[in-house]
A and B are shown apart, each in its own frame.
Chain A
Amino acid sequence: MKILVCISKTPDTTSKIAFTDGNKKFDEAGVQWIINPYDEWYSLVRAIELKEKDASVTIHLVTVGGADCDPIIRKALALGGDEAIRVNADSTDSYFIAAQIADVAKKGGYDLIFTGKEAIDYNGSSIGGMVAELVDAPYISLATLFELNGTTATITREIEGGEEVAEVSLPVVVSCQKGVAEQRIPNMRGIMAARTKPLQVVEPVAADNLTSVVNFELPPAKAGVKLVDADNVAELVRLLHEEAKVI
């Protein structure tokens, strides 16, 4: 049983969002980098749980990015991945990234591919679906529960106003979110072991970039809050009705 977990490097959730280079680049000054929380807390931890139940499971991690991703991958290895593959390429185009992961996936012959529901920087929610299409596997998005019974997965996913439970035979691609697993902290043993786990760097396969970022913008600042006295709740209702027209 082989699991591929997609890992992406994102700025810490408290990072100040600013841009440089004529608003063409994210300002990395002072930014702390983390494993995308959905990748770490949900997909990776669920893969580790499956391995804890069944020692024959191997977990490979894949990331598409430059050498600056290595500390993030080491951290993921410290949590519990067995081996990592970094495709040495920089791109913001989801098709290009998915094509790289699909290539790794095809060569590795995985039974299960996990992604996070989205990366918290680019908010694409695209990689899982694209990889699934490129490897011609079913794709279950926004999973909140994942159970495995032999080669059949039972997956609960979010749909509008509720959830849907489905059974699917492996191989399958799953995008994970809250509910699938609980966050873990790497321990010292894991951190030591991660140093010697294989991290293979491969060059990208040819693939088109179908999109490109022209520039970034920050939203206009809010005008400022209008405070209403706690003894005058009627005034708030009036403002919401007459001024904001939202009730």
Chain B
Amino acid sequence: MSVLIFVDQTENHIKKASYEVLTYGAQVAKQMGTTAEALVLGTVNDDLASLGKYGITKVHQVANESLNHVDSQLYAKVIAEAVTASGANVLIFSHNQTGKAVAARVAARLKAGIVTGACALPDTSNGFVVRKTVFSGKAYANVSINSPVKIISLNPNSYQTVAGQGTAEVSALNVPLDASKVKVTAVNKVSGEVPLTEADVVVSGGRGLKGPENWGVLLDLAKELHAATACSRPVGDAHWRPHHEHVGQTGVQVAPNLYIALGISGAIQHLAGVNRSKVIVVINKDPEAPFFKAADYGIVGDLFEVVPKLTEEIRKMKASA
């Protein structure tokens, strides 16, 4: 019995979301009176023994370069082998792009019940019940997993990462690999920008910005805050901004610490993608805009006047800090 945490990597580095699931998984293990172990696929340059800081006792690594790209079919086989080899009865993923590609596949392979989009620690007092977001963040469901092996895929940004002291034992795991049926021909990373789903701060613009040529005020603010940029659906549809920035029910769902909405009305479908943000700030010239009802802080005013001032005040605050 143990908890196994899948550690996601990109370009040979462990992703931020992985530290979150490591902390979470270690807590699940503690709660169940067992150990937390980690699984790393592919080659990474980070010091794996240092994952002990997150409460991990052992790191299993399949250091094969062919696993540096995520092929869900290969991954599912390898992860399922690792679950068997380590005797894990709980397996944890981040519900990020990799988790969405792989976790459910592993579940089907192991015939393990899965809860995706989990947002809290499981309740193990009577069975194994995991809370997840449903209806695009408008509600929660408490779901019982009834199979011997249980899989949780945790929503990014829903558990506080904590690093302490400790060193993990690192051990190589040998799993025979099939040839991949997926040939990756290109990887296009949006360089120099903060990935939207990993960002602590998101600055988002709507139709109130009136046109792509006006995005400068938003970008200045985002730069000052090291924020990722996002937009409402009509903005993506009109190609004012690339469509991967579109957040909402039919776009990306984000849960940053701070979401700043500029010139967005706050339609229910938009809110569905941002309502898990810890703090929402709305700047809109219409005091009746529905977004204010979902906001923590707001300014009723013309964004073209307010936003440059906001950027300036943040700059001042940082300079004096």
Give residues in A with beta carbon < 8 Å to B. Answer: 11, 13-14, 17, 19, 37-38, 41, 93-95, 98, 117, 120-134, 136-142, 144, 154, 157-169, 175, 178-179, 208-219, 222-223, 225-230, 233-234, 236-241, 244, 246-247
Tell which of B46-54, B58-66, B133-141, B207-215 binds the partner. B133-141
CB closest residue in chain B, given A10: B135
Give which listed residue, B113, B182, B185, B187, contacts A95 with CB less than 8 A: B113
Q: How far is the CB of B156 from chain A (nearest CB, A)?
A: 10
* B interface residues with partner A (beta carbon < 8 Å): 10, 15, 69-73, 76, 95-98, 100-109, 111-117, 129, 131-147, 181-190, 193, 195-198, 200-201, 225, 236, 243-244, 246, 249-251, 257-258, 268-269, 272, 275, 278-279, 281-282, 292-302, 305-306, 309-310, 313-314, 316-317
From the candidates A136, A140, A157, A228, name the one contacting B297 in the complex (CB within 8 A): A228
CA distance A216 to B133 in the complex (A): 10
Which residue of chain A has its CB nearest to the CB of B184?
A166
Known: A138-B182, A227-B300. A126 touches B195 (CB 8 A): no
Cα–Cα distance between A244 and B197 once the two chains are bound (Å): 21
In chain A, what residue has the closest Cβ to B130? A211
Contacts of A241 in B (CB 8 A): 317
Q: Are B144 and A246 in contact (CB under 8 A)?
A: no
- Complex Cα distance, B113 from A13, in Å, reads 28
Whether A162 lies near B187 (C-beta < 8 A) is: yes
Interface pair B96/A160, CB less than 8 Å apart: yes
* Whole-angstrom distance between the Cβ of B303 and the nearest chain A Cβ: 10
- B104 touching A127, Cβ below 8 Å: yes
Does the CB pair B111–A237 fall under 8 Å? no
Q: Complex Cα distance A137/B108, Å? A: 13
Q: Which of B96, B135, B313 contacts A234 (CB 8 A)?
A: B313
Candidates A37, A123, A161, A165; contact of B185 at CB < 8 Å: A165
By DSSP majority rule, is chain A's interface helix, strand, loop, or mixed? mixed
Q: Determine the distance from Cα of A93 to Cα of B185 in the docked complex, in whole angstroms.
A: 35
State the Cβ distance, B59 to closest chain A Cβ, in Å. 21
User: Are A133 and B109 touching (Cβ within 8 A)?
Assistant: yes
Bound form: Cα–Cα A158–B196 in Å:
12
Contacts of A125 in B (CB 8 A): 95, 100, 104, 116-117
- CB-nearest residue of chain B to A158: B97
Chain B residues lying within 8 Å of A162, measured Cβ to Cβ, are: 187-190, 195
A123 with B117: in contact, given A160-B197, A244-B297 (CB under 8 Å)? Answer: yes
Distance between A213 CB and nearest chain B CB, rounded to angstroms: 5
Contact B184 A141 (CB under 8 A): no
Q: Shortest beta-carbon distance, A96 to chain B, in Å? A: 10
Q: Which of A98, A158, A212, A246 has the most CB of B within 10 A?
A: A246
Shortest beta-carbon distance, A159 to chain B, in Å?
Answer: 5
Is there contact, CB below 8 Å, between A237 and B250? no
Instruction: State the Cβ distance, A143 to closest chain B Cβ, in Å.
Output: 11
Given that A138-B71, A159-B97 are contacting pairs, would A225 and B295 also be in contact in the complex, using a CB cutoff of 8 Å?
yes
The CA of A167 and the CA of B101, in the complex, are separated in Å by: 16
The answer to whether B195 and A138 have CB atoms under 8 Å apart is no
Q: Can you pick out 6 interface pairs between chain A and chain B where the beta carbons lie within 8 Å of each other?
A: A14-B268, A125-B104, A130-B104, A132-B105, A234-B313, A246-B257
CA distance A128 to B102 in the complex (A): 10
A168 CB contact (under 8 Å) in B104, B182, B243, B306: B182
Q: Is the CB of B250 within 8 A of A38?
A: yes
A94 to B114, Cβ gap below 8 A? Answer: yes
A137 to B71, CA, bound (A): 11
- Closest Cβ of chain A to B75, distance in Å, is 10
Q: How many angstroms from the CA of A140 to the CA of B301 in the assembled complex?
A: 44
